[in-house]
Amino acid sequence: MIPSSYPDAPTIARLTAEMLWDIGAVHFRPEDPFTLASGLPSPTYIDCRKLISYPRIRSTLMDFLTCTVMRNAGLEAFDNVAGGETAGIPFAALVAERMALPMTYVRKKPKGYGRNARIEGVMTEGQRVLLVEDLTTDGGSKLSFVDAIRETGATCAHTAVIFYYGIFPETETTLGDHGVALHYLCTWRDVLAVAKARALFPEDQLTEVEAFLNDPRGWQAARDRG
């Protein structure tokens, strides 16, 4: 069912951040930083995959994501919804159901046998495809998925995510230069605001996390040097 009403963007951002805290998807650990896929340290970590196990919150956020995309891009802007392997697949399915559109998914690389396909499902030339993922950091990983979609003859000018880091200034430029607009529900700033409002951590830990958000590359470089 296509949602017909929705809160404004700031309210969606606050509510999304609160729900992510409520299910334990957000972690702050400045004293013992996480190691990201890049190998660099981070005092923050988020696991949007946990959302699939919380049906009420999952449903609310998928309504929010669908409405955000329709508000920003238009109600008749897409013909197909594609999920990025693997985290984007369940969210793409849920958004496609709400938008009454076909759903497909994009492999990170060809599977190496059979049709050797990267696109699973039916995607046809000329279709306007919305790429759905769980989150984006610097936007780089989205480009491979977008290129795979475009190789079918379809177009992909929009990607939607639940969570956007919002701390790397090059992200929207990277996507924009590739002809892709980014739609999202909340950022680390929204998550930090909830942590402060709820006093979830001691002040010194919140200050350290904020220092990372203000200068992530500098914070990582200092930690990487030990």
Q: What's the per-residue H, E or C state across the chain?
A: CCCCCCCCHHHHHHHHHHHHHHCCCEEECCCCCEECCCCCEECEEECHHHHHHCHHHHHHHHHHHHHHHHHHHCCCCCCEEEEECCCHHHHHHHHHHHHCCCEEEECCCCCCCCCCCCEECCCCCCCEEEEEEEEECCCHHHHHHHHHHHCCCCEEEEEEEEEECCCCCCHHHHHHHCCCEEEEEEEHHHHHHHHHHCCCCCHHHHHHHHHHHHCHHHHHHHHHCC
**pTM (two decimals):** 0.93
Q: In the prediction, which pLDDT does 45 show?
A: 95
Pairing of strands 44-46, 26-28: antiparallel
Residue 35 sits at φ, ψ, to 5 deg, of -105, 120
Q: In the prediction, which pLDDT does 188 show?
A: 97
**85 pLDDT tier (thresholds 50, 70, 90):** very high
Q: What six digits make up the tokens of 209?
A: 């996390």
Cα 129 from chain centroid (whole Å) = 16
Q: In the prediction, which pLDDT does 17 show?
A: 98
**pLDDT for 117-163, tens place per residue?**
899 999 999 999 999 999 998 888 899 999 999 999 999 999 999 99
**8 pLDDT tier (thresholds 50, 70, 90):** very high
Q: In the prediction, which pLDDT does 111 show?
A: 72
Cα gap 50→25, rounded to integer Å: 6
Q: In the prediction, which pLDDT does 1 show?
A: 59
pLDDT at residue 114 tops 60: no
Q: In the prediction, which pLDDT does 117 show?
A: 82
Domains of the chain: 9-210 (3.40.50.2020)
Of the listed ranges 27-31, 94-98, 153-157, the one predicted with least confidence: 27-31
